[in-house]
Amino acid sequence: MLIRHYLSLSVVLVAVAGFVAVVLPGQAFAQTLPSPAPSWQSGQSTWNGSGYESVPAPPPINELPEEWNDNFGLSESVLQQPVVDVPLTDPASAATATDAIEPIPDPGMPIGAAIADGQTLDEPPLQQEIVRWYQVPWRWMTKGWENHAEFGLDGSTGNAETLAIQTGLEMKRKTDAYTLALDFDYRQASAQSQTTEDNARFNLDYDRLLGDSNWTMFTKFGMEYDEFKAFDLRLNLNAGFGYYWIRNDNTNLVTRVGAGASKEIGSPDDSWTPEAVFGLEADHKLSDRQKLKAKIDYFPTFEDFSDFRLVTDVAWESLIDNSENLSLRLSITDRYDSTPQGALKNDFYYSALLLYKF
């Protein structure tokens, strides 16, 4: 009886101990954890119209991926290779940055030199002027010429009445390839109302350089009128070769050798006479305001070199005051003819002229 009572008490104690071990810990855990959110707040189910469906729960919003914990979202490769290899405060980096900048072209450098040097220009070069074919004659006649008109006058009255005038025109066009010159002179003098001098001459000279050498090919055309000579008009046409010993902006010296013919219209013998020509021409710029010029042409006939003509011109020019286009010219001219046909062999002229350049 006692044993049965003891067994019954043991069973009761075991049951009480089991109840305490199972029930009390569950209540303590339930008190430490928050109650789960309803399914419609946790994202674990959704209403599809007829019932609830389970869906994955959203990720926690207060947790970061493991790879963000140490590098704040940057990969290790980026941290190991910084954007700037050398600190900006390092003087070496400043020198390197300066060397990488393209140099600014020199404003004084010609466009062609800048392009050849590989430099770029802020502004494109000016467009080349286009000249139409019908503009060429007008441009040739109006550009590149050095021209001047000359005039001189002297006279007297009283016991002797004299009047002498001299006028002329010179035109010259000089380029890198050729030189073209035109010269016209006219003289008239009278004494006691009687004409004592009346003559004119015209010369056309053309020199063409042969390539890059100092050799030239020239042509020469001349006309001479003199009321007191045995002819009405003398013509001469010559051509040949020349050589520039000096040719620059300050000094020119050229010699010429050629051949041609002359004709004296209105003379007893007005046929064409073959002749040679030997010439020397020089000009020198003494200063910015003064110039000296000289020219000699010798025309002997092929049949007899003692039958010849010799023309010599020497002139000095000087600008007047501060004028750029008004000059004073002192000149001497000598014309010699070995066969004057009853007239004097030598005509010598000297003059003081005013020149107006245009």
Q: What is the pLDDT of residues 162-205, one digit of tens each?
A: 888 999 999 999 888 899 999 999 999 998 888 988 999 999 99
- The half-sphere exposure of 311 on its side-chain side, counting CA atoms within 13 A, is 12
Span 124-147, average pLDDT: 75
Give the pLDDT of residue 172: 92
Span 200-223, average pLDDT: 94
Q: What is the pLDDT of residues 24-70, one digit of tens each?
A: 554 544 444 455 555 545 555 566 666 656 555 555 655 555 555 55
Span 334-345, average pLDDT: 85
Give the pLDDT of residue 310: 95
- Reply yes or no on whether the pLDDT at 124 is more than 60: no
Select the highest-mean-pLDDT range: 91-100, 251-260, 331-340.
251-260
Give the integer Cα–Cα distance in Å for 67 and 73. 7
C-alpha radius of gyration, the chain, whole number: 57
Give the pLDDT of residue 30: 46
Of 3.40.1160.10, 2.40.160.40, 3.40.50.300, 1.10.150.120, which CATH number belongs to 146-357?
A: 2.40.160.40
Please state whether the predicted TM-score (pTM) of the whole model is above 0.75: no
- What are the domain boundaries of the chain? 76-124, 146-357
Give the integer Cα–Cα distance in Å for 180 and 218. 10
DSSP character string of 216-278:
EEEEEEEEEEETTSS-SEEEEEEEEEEEEEEESSSEEEEEEEEEEEEEEETSS--S-EEEEEE
Q: Which residue has the higher pLDDT, 58 or 74?
A: 58
Give the pLDDT of residue 137: 77
Span 244-266, average pLDDT: 94
Question: Is the Cβ–Cβ distance between 316 and 292 less than 8 Å?
Answer: yes
Token representation of residue 223: 């006309």
99: number of Cβ within 10 Å: 7
Q: What is the pLDDT of residues 276-313, one digit of tens each?
A: 999 999 999 999 899 999 999 999 999 888 899 999 99
